[in-house]
Amino acid sequence: NAGVTQTPKFRVLKTGQSMTLLCAQDMNHEYMYWYRQDPGMGLRLIHYSVGEGTTAKGEVPDGYNVSRLKKQNFLLGLESAAPSQTSVYFCASSYYHQGAETQYFGPGTRLLVL
């Protein structure tokens, strides 16, 4: 099993450009999450999905959109990148069963917006 994978690993964008981050998991997890991690702020939830075709807002959703067309994939889109979106983005996935809901994280995508 590859676990949770993310592409790309690193990206530089200019303000106003758009891009999509891809997360894939091969563990048949129902739930998937996108976080951003900034110095001194910990991990903050952007959006999440509890199943194929469903998404919901997390703590810091503004400026991002997501889609979950297939169970194994969760896409995070930036429509018009801003310097405040410079961050490290982590995807995670988990089962929904209580007691088995440990989240497993991907390796992260480092995004720099100039």
Q: How far apart are CA 48 and CA 64, in angstroms?
A: 12
Angle at CA 105, nearest 5°, toward 100 and 111? 155
Dihedral through CA 18, CA 29, CA 33, CA 100, nearest 10? -170
Binding footprint of another protein on the chain (CB under 8 A) = 4, 31, 33, 40-45, 48, 50, 56, 58, 90, 92, 94, 96, 98-99, 101-108
Nearer to another protein, 13 or 47 (CB): 47
In the complex, least distance from residue 3 CB atom to another protein, rounded to whole angstroms: 9
**Residue 59 three-state SS:** coil
In the complex, least distance from residue 23 CB atom to another protein, rounded to whole angstroms: 12
In the complex, least distance from residue 7 CB atom to another protein, rounded to whole angstroms: 14
At 64, list the tokens: 């991002």
Nearer to another protein, 40 or 69 (CB): 40
Q: What are phi and psi of 2, to 5 degrees?
A: -80, -20
In the complex, least distance from residue 94 CB atom to another protein, rounded to whole angstroms: 6
Nearer to another protein, 3 or 16 (CB): 3
